[in-house]
Amino acid sequence: MQKINEFLLVIDSYIGSAEWFVLLLLGTGLFFTIYLKFPQIRFFNHALKIVRGKFDKKDDKGDTSHFQALTTALSGTVGTGNIAGVALAIHLGGPAALFWMLVTALLGMTTKFVEVTLSHKYRDILPDGSIAGGPMYYMKKRLNITLKSGKVIKTGYVIGALFAFATILSSFGTGSLPQINSISNAMLATFDIPLIVTGGVLSVVLALVILGGIKRIAAVTEKLVPGMAIIYLIGALAVLLTNYQNIIPSFISIFSDVFTGSAALGGFLGAGFSFAFNRGVNRGLFSNEAGQGSAPIAHAAARAHEPVSEGMVSILEPFIDTIVICFITGLVLLSSGVWTEKFENKFQVSDLIVLNSAFDEDNPKDIQTLSDALNRKTKMPVFTGEITVENGILSNNISLLHASSIADSVEFKLDNKLFTGTISVNKGLVNFNERDIEIYGISLLHSAPLTTEAFKRSIFGDWGQYIISIGLLLFAFSTAISWSYYGGRSMTYLFGTKSIIYYRIIYVIAFFFASFTDTTIIWTLSAITIALMAIPNLLGILILSKEMKTTVNEYWKQFNKEHPENNSKFTN
């Protein structure tokens, strides 16, 4: 597992975690924000009116309402990214990472507006009357190359096919695997329900929902999304009210270290600007998916006579998902103080590094050495050789790094008994030789377990963990539902409608197995698949920027004719 994760990390370092990808993502959002004159601000109120159905027409074609399309898309984005993703970003990049998540969302509001508008404009009506749309359809129809001779090279179909294939991969890497993994681990930690039991029960429920298609999915999500958001926000506000004295200092910390990075504090070993920036943007994209091209697939099914109106509805998604829910989650983590505290936990082997000597948290030189290594400025000082364990205790004079923190009170167990023996280590990675050795100790937490600890710091006490468990169950499960639709529509594009049933069967099976698979590998996989979707989509909407501007202007001209009482003067 460690070797697989290391291999995936290398791939991710050249794609999703590379600086050029971050610049492409933010640069696209910034370009359209300026080019379209800040539509995320100017059109925000108009978007609220559209989602309420104020301008609907009886003859609008589509499978869902504006509100259902919004909740379906939100159910695909409001998931583990809001609970586990924010915690992971702060764990790796400190408070400054939350700032860059917010910037990503603000620019992402415009990016979503563009990608949804273009995808809705070029959607297809299938023979059975259902709607199929998404970036692959605008790519197929608008990204072909016409030679001087008049011959058309169908590059658009190829680019669309690559996007569709990446979407199928991402439906597992984003929508299925990390969602059930977070749910099952939360159920185990809170209710002591075995991972395989949670996976089995929810796999059956998932199959029953997704076999009903987009109409059943929309009917479920329009009830699930508002309910789950209310439950989660009640728990978050309880934490903030309990730790009210820390709210202002936490708020200041988000902005004070934006361009310098966060210094070491408690068990947190510090994060430089580059790492905080990269992790914040990366987790921001995982949370709201702006630019990834997933939400346009849901919005393409909406009943609307004008593509721009549906694009405006999508402006609300990053705002709700990241600027509201993720920001509140971030304040909860910071104000509760849990992000710098160590907790007793079972170590994930793929999150473990064996260091070549003993490191002391009270030694500034040791902290600087590890901080530079974690921020990829220098190589990690790793151990190679054999470590000796006696009665569960490590005999070698070395330290373990778990969850980016120096581990304390480490114990090795085999079959629930203290382990005695030797363990081989290669470049910091342990090799158990297929022995089921478990490692326990005290270290920092990240992802859902960290947010769970934060929710205990309120008037609800330990009951706060149940809010996270229920929230994860509802958030993550709804995300898995929506992504099955995205993957299904991509299968339709590539292989036709008959292929959907085979995809859904594999989707449910993978959903089950991911319930008891190592989470670190799953998060790494998700980062790669997100980038593989986003790259062709971002390049595609940039190519069609002039068409986007023309489409928006035509919308306002037509709108002013039909609704002179609104006297709208929006133009681009």
As a residue count, the chain comes to 572
**In 498-566, where do the E strands start and end?**
none
Q: Tell me, what's the pLDDT at 500? A: 92
- At 423 the pLDDT is 92
Q: What angle do CA 45, 48, 50 make, to 5 degrees?
A: 115
CB 517 within 8 A of CB 183: no
d(CA 313, CA 328): 22
Q: Report the pLDDT value the prediction gives residue 179, as an integer from 0 to 100.
A: 80
Cα-based angle 310, 314, 317 (whole degrees, multiple of 5): 155
| Helix, strand and coil in the chain, % to nearest 5 | 65, 10, 25
Q: What is the pLDDT of residue 566?
A: 65
Cβ atoms of 172 and 510 closer than 8 Å: yes
Q: What angle do CA 236, 239, 242 make, to 5 degrees?
A: 150
- pLDDT by residue for the chain (572 residues), tens only, comes to 667 777 888 888 888 778 888 889 889 999 999 999 999 999 999 999 988 888 777 776 766 777 777 777 776 666 667 777 888 889 988 999 999 989 988 999 999 999 999 999 999 887 777 788 899 999 999 999 887 888 888 899 999 999 999 999 888 887 788 788 878 877 887 888 999 999 999 999 899 888 776 677 777 777 777 777 788 888 999 999 999 999 999 999 999 888 888 888 888 988 888 878 877 887 777 677 888 898 899 888 888 878 999 899 999 988 988 888 889 999 999 999 999 999 999 998 878 999 999 999 999 999 999 999 988 889 999 999 999 999 999 999 999 999 999 999 999 999 989 999 999 999 998 887 767 899 999 999 988 889 989 999 999 999 988 888 888 788 778 888 888 989 999 999 999 989 999 999 999 999 998 888 765 676 677 778 888 899 999 999 999 999 999 999 999 998 888 877 765 556 55
Determine the pLDDT at residue 433. Answer: 75
Residue 488 pLDDT: 92
- Asked if 288 and 317 count as a contact pair (C-beta separation under 8 A), the reply is yes
Q: Which pLDDT does position 420 carry in this prediction?
A: 95
Q: What is residue 63's predicted lDDT score, i.e. its pLDDT?
A: 67
Domains recognised in the chain with CATH numbers:
7-249+275-336+454-563 (1.20.1740), 343-443 (no CATH)
269 token code pair: 């070993």
Which pLDDT does position 499 carry in this prediction?
93
**CA distances for 314 relative to 40, 202, 233, angstroms:** 10, 29, 22
- Alpha-carbon gap, residue 393 to 461, rounded angstroms: 33
* 376 vs 530: CA distance, rounded Å: 22
Are the C-beta atoms of residues 59 and 210 closer than 8 Å to each other?
no
The DSSP H or E segment spanning 93 is: helix 86-93
Q: How many CA atoms lie within 13 A of 204 on its CB side?
A: 5
Q: What is the pLDDT of residue 503?
A: 95
Residue 106, classed as helix, strand or coil, is: helix
CA distance 517 to 511: 10
Q: Whole-model pTM?
A: 0.83
Q: CB-based contacts of 2: which residues, under 8 Å, 6+ apart? A: 349, 350, 429, 430
Instruction: Report pLDDT for 27.
Output: 93
Query: What does the pLDDT read at residue 507?
Result: 94
pLDDT at residue 80 in the model = 67
Is there a contact between 479 and 175 (Cβ–Cβ < 8 Å)?
Answer: yes
